Amino acid sequence: MKRGLTCTYEQAKSTGTSSSYQVRSPPSDAHTPSRLAPDAEDEPHTGLNRHEELCLVHHYTTSTHMGISRHDGDSSIWQNMPFYDGMTYPFVLDAILAVAALHKAYIEPQNNGKYTSACLFYQHVCMRAYSQQLTDINHDNCHAMFAVSSLINVLTIAMSRGSSSLVATSPLETLFTTFKLLRGIQVVLHGNFDTVRSAHYKEIFSVPDVPPDAVVSPEVAHAMKELLRLASDGTNETEPDRVEVYKSSVETLEKHFLEVEQVQNFGAVIAWPLALHETATELLRARDPMMMLIFVHYGVLYLHIHERWWAHNFGCRLIWELSDCLHALNASWLPLTSWARSKAANVRATPPAH
């Protein structure tokens, strides 16, 4: 059975499926036609009973939220999210139940099928209600919309690795989905940022300043310098505007490395694509080699959250997928991906934190 996670941030313009997750069906269902975003009466997945839902909320508040916090000061905000907005907007509670269920599926392999099915059920219920709110984002509901937007992003990345009950999605395709989701968060915050930032989620945005004299680690500095050199070397063969997109992408990537290294702002890992020129994502979609190489190095930034259950191995998978694409184009790309591949190899055996 294929599940559709429909991205509705651009609903005013069009509707479509931004990504789909294929659930592994039992053999007897092997020839069942795929359905996208089924109606409630056709929903193939089921939620849990009230007692189990309460246990999931407890699991979220005692464990799951710790892997979602972006920096040291905002853990309690994510922990109390069910009580901030979940009481007023049920779709927030559905998003929390979906994330907690997927976390349980991850840490309890023997119950993977049960909790994956529950996750997909709550995700679907959440998205139906959430999409209705997108047409009227205001000062009253913007906190809830921001919370759900963030949790959906976590679900998208976590689901991409697959499981015994869920077919994996490629890291690159997952990134394209997260690009849309991140733009959705921008839509939510547009015109409401001061409201969200000044209320109960303010600590999420209270990131310590990077010291003015701080620099990235020597190995990152060397890697970024090499990327800039490669981008400049193509000036004679490439459109000047494209070269500027390469350079600005590398420069912002280095800034995000700096935030993670200096003040442990792990939100910078997820947020980097928001700092990119729109042309950068278009080049990646077109499998532009230089942009793919830049995103190989973005995979190294992702390794900073490698131990988080929902992001475990995503950076490694991104590095290997894009490196393989580049190597298939020309063997000359092989040494240019060696640093990222060695970083991935060093963390691949590291067990995730629950």
Model pLDDT for residues 1-42, shown as the tens digit of each residue: 334 444 444 433 333 333 334 444 333 333 322 222 333 344
What is the per-residue pLDDT for 74?
84
CA angle (82, 124, 97) in 5-degree steps: 25
Q: Where are the domains of the chain?
A: 2-205, 218-347
Residue 254: enclosing H or E segment and its boundaries? helix 240-263
DSSP string, 1-69: -EEEEE--TTTTT---EEEEEEBPPPGGGTTPPP-SS--GGG-------HHHHHHHHHHHHHTGGGGT-
Alpha-carbon distance of 165 to 108, in angstroms, equals 13
Terminal Cα-to-Cα distance of the chain (whole angstroms) = 28
- Residue with structure tokens 């700092």? 275
What is the per-residue pLDDT for 29?
34
Alpha-carbon distance of 346 to 300, in angstroms, equals 11
Q: Which residues of 232-249 are buried (b: 16+ CB within 10 A; e: fewer)?
A: eeeeeebeeebbebbebb
Do residues 134 and 8 touch, judged by C-beta distance below 8 A? yes
Per-residue pLDDT tens listing for the chain (354 residues): 334 444 444 433 333 333 334 444 333 333 322 222 333 344 556 779 999 999 999 999 999 999 998 877 788 888 988 788 888 999 999 999 999 999 999 999 999 999 999 999 999 999 999 988 888 888 888 889 988 989 999 999 999 999 888 889 999 999 999 988 888 777 777 778 888 877 778 888 888 899 999 999 999 999 999 999 999 885 556 588 899 999 999 999 999 999 999 998 888 999 999 899 999 999 999 999 999 999 999 999 999 999 999 999 999 999 999 999 999 999 999 999 999 999 999 987 555 555
Using DSSP's 3-state secondary structure scheme, residue 73 falls into coil
Q: pLDDT tens digit string along 307-350?
A: 999 999 999 999 999 999 999 999 999 999 999 999 999 987 55
Do residues 317 and 171 touch, judged by C-beta distance below 8 A? yes
Q: C-alpha dihedral over 350, 351, 353, 354, to 10 degrees?
A: 160
In this prediction the pTM is 0.83
Q: Which two tokens stand for residue 294?
A: 């830049």
Q: Which two tokens stand for residue 41?
A: 């009466």
